[in-house]
A and B are shown apart, each in its own frame.
Chain A
């Protein structure tokens, strides 16, 4: 059962990163679009993510529940030492979710829209930025339970070059995922061209931020190179990501949306796999070297069993419905009025 629970945890995080990431990214793409084209993008975007955005949100909740039920130590250590970035991320989630709905459901379309839009766009950046910062901090080895000063325990645990670089990298990846996803949703040639251009720009930005991550790791003596090249799986995953990058640029020129989506998702998954594999099952790397791993922090067997069954039974209900939802909306144009 531990295996099943862990699989769900990883899957939940991966899906949140991909689908939620594309969702955040849509806001980022919107922000980096010239004002006169923004409203077009909004319409496209609404059609693309409207029906499933609630569901996207769920992956995070599932991952969190699995953490606090099955691996309480991980949940509590993160809650204590990454309190501040978690809070900021939460504020981002709140602001974004509500602004998205408000701007759509406000019965009167007036100046309030400007406010909703800018809240939506900026929180679309803040949320993945801090998501990345949190992920980066978990593996950076800066969390220090022995610290007795406020700054050291609760601020320097997450505020450092490496985590910020990972945060920026995350933002660019989200923008990239969204741009690629939107190519397939574009209704005319101009829009399509625009999204293709955006996808390129975000891809370049991602490569630059990726380089920043390496620099920061080098500066903070985080053995990132060792993690990525020290084992076969990470290495192969990294190669696969690189190859798909080339393929992606080639296909971008053709604008083949279905394959592009798949490739972009694949590429991001490979990057995540490459980074996490060599640390697995360690989840948090602590300053003094006593890492917190999934295995060492697991709850008792009875809890893991119950959790596993709950997840399996839940999926039996959820998956068919979710697949049917996505299928239906791929088939029909969304019709809301």
Chain B
């Protein structure tokens, strides 16, 4: 493994790890806030227990998210010093604001976790909401930094120099809104489905049914609402990518030749050498429609882009297919859920519906990882699109493969421990939260 590949893999691993914790840290506080609100309004002890049980999960995830994030802020320099030397002052604005958001999040979490029965109840509830809002803000800010790499702006690049730097313009680059919107919705969809899936499993196993039903309902409503609008936002993103990064779009769609009335390629095995896609389903004109809004216009293919600027087609295309496929599936589940919610309430906790949710538990997160692969791999060979190549950015220090192996081991063991801990949290729900006095006869 050469140093560049090792550095890229290490970055991908760290980010792929961090994003899971980041999403949960951004979204769970909102679930907690809803359950907390329900407790304050109804005085039903189950909601209090649910809030507390969830808050322990959040504390575990927050800590893991925070340390992996700290890692990242060093890793940017450890792996990509040449990039940071020039990019830092330009795209640093969101990072410096993000610092504030994180700080507020940490303080609010301190109030929330340790503030039971100390503060005014509504103030305590409010601190939980602040955790969520500042988490969301920090997520949006980092994505703005990432979108700058896709759509660099706020400086003039002349003779290899970065002049006339405007950090505010760099932050509000062309891509920030679509990316931030899509990412935020994705976080809600993925976390909602994951949490709902776990609680659905518990209901199926007939453990603490009332508790888990309440938890399931909150998570499922958030998740399905987000999954319904996700494809819409994805469509906006795709149009945006077509405009600013035609090479990425062509790789996503495995679109080798520029053509009018371009067809949408579903599935298939891209063959980069012979520039064709085997075994694919092609729907004529649909790609033109998705990109330009009509079935005729031309869509730029990889043949119009210099070969050295082609992103890896295979990975990008596969990742895109996975994301869209899962997105469509999650949307279908959501439609079904809302139909049931609207017409057939008695089926809300039927076995088949719950089983569907159990099956969908990891899908959102897989889609998130796939989506980031599209964004990041599709940007290759650039680290700053059109300006600096990834190979020029990597650290001169040799032996990165060792560090990659080392970090892979750490992340792997951390994941194992976190999963183990959550398993134990869930297993302990009966002992911790199921005292008879907490249960009222009221169901949903």
Contacts and interface: CB of A to CB of B under 8 A. Distances in A.
Interface of A: 50-52, 54-55, 57-58, 60-62, 64-66, 68-70, 72-73, 75-76, 78-80, 83, 86-87, 90-91, 93-94, 97-98, 100-102, 105-108, 150, 153-154, 299-300, 302-303, 306-307, 310-311, 313-314, 317-318, 321-322, 325, 328-329, 332, 334-337
B439 interface: no
Interface string B183-221: 000000000000000000000000000000000000000
Given A83-B397, A90-B70, A55 B110 contact: yes
A101 B59 contact: yes
Contacts of B33: none
B279 interface: no
Interface in B85-111: 85-86, 88-90, 92-93, 95-100, 102-104, 106-111
Contacts of A302: 165-167
A100 B90 CA distance: 36
Nearest first, the 4 A-B pairs at minimum CB distance are A69-B92, A79-B77, A314-B100, A299-B89
24 contacts: A54-B63, A54-B109, A55-B110, A60-B70, A61-B102, A69-B96, A80-B397, A87-B406, A91-B410, A93-B71, A94-B71, A101-B60, A106-B421, A107-B427, A107-B432, A150-B399, A299-B92, A299-B165, A302-B167, A303-B92, A321-B104, A325-B111, A328-B119, A335-B116
A244 to B, nearest CB: 30
A335 B95 contact: no
A57 B70 contact: yes
B378 to A, nearest CB: 25
B405 to A, nearest CB: 12
Given A87-B78, A97-B63, A318-B107, 13 more contacts: A58-B103, A62-B99, A68-B84, A72-B86, A75-B77, A83-B78, A105-B59, A105-B421, A299-B165, A303-B89, A314-B100, A317-B104, A336-B116
A329 B113 CA distance: 12
B343 interface: no
A57 B403 contact: no
Nearest to B87: A72
Interface string B38-78: 00000000000000000010011011101111110110111
Interface of B: 56, 59-60, 62-64, 66-71, 73-74, 76-78, 81-82, 84-86, 88-90, 92-93, 95-100, 102-104, 106-111, 113-119, 165-168, 395-399, 403, 406, 410, 414, 417, 421, 424-425, 427-428, 432
Contacts of B66: 54, 57, 97
Provide the main secondary structure of the chain B interface: helix
A52 B103 CA distance: 11
A72 B117 CA distance: 46
A300 B89 contact: yes
Contacts of A62: 99, 103
Nearest to B109: A54
A287 B368 CA distance: 46
A335 B119 CA distance: 11
Contact of A80 (B62, B118, B395, B428): B395
B92 A80 contact: no
Contact of A335 (B82, B98, B118, B399): B118
B84 A79 contact: yes
B21 to A, nearest CB: 11
A66 B110 CA distance: 25
A335 B68 CA distance: 28
A226 B145 CA distance: 44
Nearest to B169: A302
Contact of B96 (A66, A300, A329): A66
Contacts of A150: 398-399
B161 to A, nearest CB: 11
A86 B74 contact: yes
Given A58-B103, A107-B428, A317-B100, A329 B114 contact: yes
B100 A76 contact: no
A318 B165 contact: no
Given A54-B106, A94-B414, A105-B59, A80 B100 contact: no
